[in-house]
Amino acid sequence: MAGGSGALGRRLCTDLVERGHDVVVLSRSPRPGPVRQVAWDGVTVGPWAAELAGAAVVNLAGLLVDRRPTAANTALLTSSRVQPTLALRAAAAQLDEPVPVWLQASTAAVHGDAGETLVDEDTPPADGPPQMAGVARAWEDAAVGAHAVRQVVLRTSVVFDRHTPALDRLVLLTRLGLGGRIASGRQWTSWLHVEDWLAIARWCLGVDELAAPPPEGVLLATSPDPVRNAELMATLRAVLHRPAAPPTPELLVRVGAVLLRTDPGLALTGRRAVSRRLADAGFEFRHPDLHEALTDLLRSPSP
């Protein structure tokens, strides 16, 4: 696994190890722990390449996209994904046998600001914005032609999990009384509970069996019920038992994004994405309802 130190990477490592699988994380700074870590620089092929023989490859490597949408940041986000992917491809190409499965991370943001379009696996990627669709397209393109029996490109929507930036920031704003709709509130949010993301990843790797065989090609990892931003914020207020809150105007979002050094497009754009392939495979979501999913994640832990 490349990118095993990120939020989803740590979750997937723990999940697979608890199920008896041997996980090896490629790390620039290996540390002792429950998961074996092997040194790599994310750029060049080295002794770490021997770990790929006969192994499933999971490529999650890449910096967080929560940055100002500048040309320099777009280039940084792109290189943080493309260079590790090319290094993995070069290492796999040296193997006598192809790796059995290559799980290539991507993002539903490859579809840019899709408006009212219903996005599925057959929807072509968008041309922009550069820090969303541009970065994602370069990431996916870098994995094309990898020496693998089967490759899955997993276009993941916003994954909600405890103590992660995506959810923590929304919770903080809501608790501060700023949990109203953002701008028009009509922008779509495609979301997913982390437990469902883990189940989808296991199916991609072939360690969870469904009626359908493990997938190949593009797969959207998203809940079957995307919501508009206004509904997302109203549901979050209900779960946190907060009163109605005034909307946040677009201008304030853009000014706040400068102060927080983030991309206002993360809040102002959206995609209405639903996975046709998960539906066809009979995948059963544990948390298909937003209110239940947020309640599960935000409830107080048992003493």
**Amino acid found at 298:** L
User: How many whole angstroms from its chain centre is CA 290?
Assistant: 17
Tell which CATH classification among 3.40.50.720, 2.130.10.10, 3.20.10.10, 3.10.350.10 matches the domain 7-298.
3.40.50.720
Average pLDDT over the chain, rounded to an integer: 95
Residues 209-267: tens digit of each pLDDT = 777 899 999 999 999 999 999 999 999 999 999 999 999 999 999 999 999 899 999 99
Bond prior to 129 in cis (omega within 30° of 0): yes
How far is 298 from 160, CA to CA, in rounded Å? 10
Q: Cβ distance 63 to 76 under 8 Å?
A: yes
Q: Which neighbouring-strand residues pair with 182?
A: 248
Whole-number Å distance between alpha carbons of 65 and 188: 19
DSSP states along 67-133? S---HHHHHHHHHHHHHHHHHHHHHHHTSSS-BS-EEEEEEGGGG-S-TT-EE-TTSPPPS--IIII
**Which residue type, as a one-letter code, is found at position 276?**
R
Task: Give yes or no for a contact between 185 and 228, defined as CB atoms under 8 angstroms apart.
Answer: yes
pLDDT digits (tens, 9 = 90+) for 275-299: 999 999 999 999 999 999 999 999 8
Give whole-number Cα distances, 297 to 88, 162, 173, in Å.
Answer: 34, 6, 17
Q: Does residue 300 register a pLDDT over 90?
A: no
Condensed to tens digits (0 to 9), the pLDDT of residues 71-123 reads 999 999 999 999 999 999 999 999 999 999 999 999 999 999 999 999 999 99
Percent residues over pLDDT 70 in the chain: 99
CA distance to 33, 42, 205, per residue, from 50 (Å): 21, 15, 20
Q: What is the pTM of this model?
A: 0.96
Paired with 219 in beta bridges are: 154
- Look at residue 302 in the predicted model and tell me its pLDDT: 40
| C-beta pairs of 113-116 under 8 Å, 24+ apart in sequence | 113/187, 113/265, 113/269, 113/270, 113/271, 114/188, 114/270, 114/271, 114/272, 114/273, 116/272
φ/ψ of residue 53, rounded to 5 = -60, 115
